[in-house]
Every structure is written in structure tokens, then in C-alpha cells.
Amino acid sequence: MNRFMLYVAASAFIFATLPCTLNAATVDKDPASNIRHALDQWRADFNARRAAHICDLFAPDLRYDFYDAPERTYPELCDRLHRALADNTQTLHYDLQIKEIIVSANLAIVRLIWKSTVTIDGKQQSNDETGLDVFGRQPDGSWKIIRYIAYPAKD
């Protein structure tokens, strides 16, 4: 009888906690939430000048186009990001507006606007950049930008 009661108690505990476990797993596997979190984390790292992981948002096979500039790659982007964060003559700050996230299998498209504010000698200049980021699911399950296009937003 004691074994039976132990089995019933253990089963009741498992079934009582199962909905919580399923909800946590569902949130962790929601690509749009993971992508939103990755973008927010990148913004926070950039604004805090935390250079250690500043390139983690981007896949090694990244290709990107920015208005009036030639196509660039992951090494070029990482170099530019590290130089920008190391430049103490200016303060850089990014804000982010995500307009839409569309996920299909192992690809996701994000329409967004980055607002950059540069402060040099106490003078601020802000620019809005409209962009389209293409994320690819990586072998480890993470989502990284594999392609993006950005251009100045029109007033």
C-alpha cells in the first residue's frame, strides 16, 4: 500500500507541474520572442559598450547592404562595431522599434527601425535607419542575422 501511495503522490506532483514545464518550454522555443530578446540584448550591450559579445547577433556568413555602400561581411561589421565601441571621443546610443517579425521554418524576417544618437563634444545628432533583417536558425537553435538591408528613414 505504501508503494501505491508513493506512486500516486509522485504522479500527482508530475501532473501538477507539467503545465508550468510546458509553458516554459513553449516560451523558450518561440522564435519571435527569442529574436526580439536577441535584438534587445544587442542594443543593451552596444549602449553599455560591452564589446565582448557585440558580434554574437550575426552569423559568420553574414552579408549586408547599407544605403550607398558596397556589400559587406561579418568580419567587416565586427571590426566596425569594435572600433565604434572603442572610440571614446563620441557617445553612441541605439533605440529600437520592431515593426514586424515573420517566422517561417528556419528563417525569420524582421522589419525594424534603429534610431542612433551620436554625441560628440556635447552636440547630438540622431538618425533613423529602416531595416530588414533576415535571421537564420543556427545548428545550436539560436537565431542570428544572416542578411540585412538598412537605409536612412525618410521624413
40-56 pLDDT tens trace: 999 999 999 999 999 99
pTM across the whole model: 0.79
pLDDT at residue 91 tops 60: yes
What is the distance, to the nearest Å, from the Cα of residue 48 to the centroid of all Cα atoms in its chain?
16
Per-domain residue ranges of the chain: 2-152
Q: 2-152 architecture in CATH? A: Roll (3.10)
Query: How many CB atoms neighbour CB 133 within 10 A?
Result: 24
More confident residue, 141 or 18: 141
Residue corresponding to grid cell 540585412? 148
CA atoms within 13 A on the CB side of 136: 11
B/e letters for 64-76, b = 16+ CB within 10 Å, e = fewer, are bebeeeeeeebee
Which pLDDT does position 10 carry in this prediction?
40
pLDDT in tens, 100-155: 999 999 999 999 999 999 999 989 999 999 999 999 999 999 999 999 999 997 76
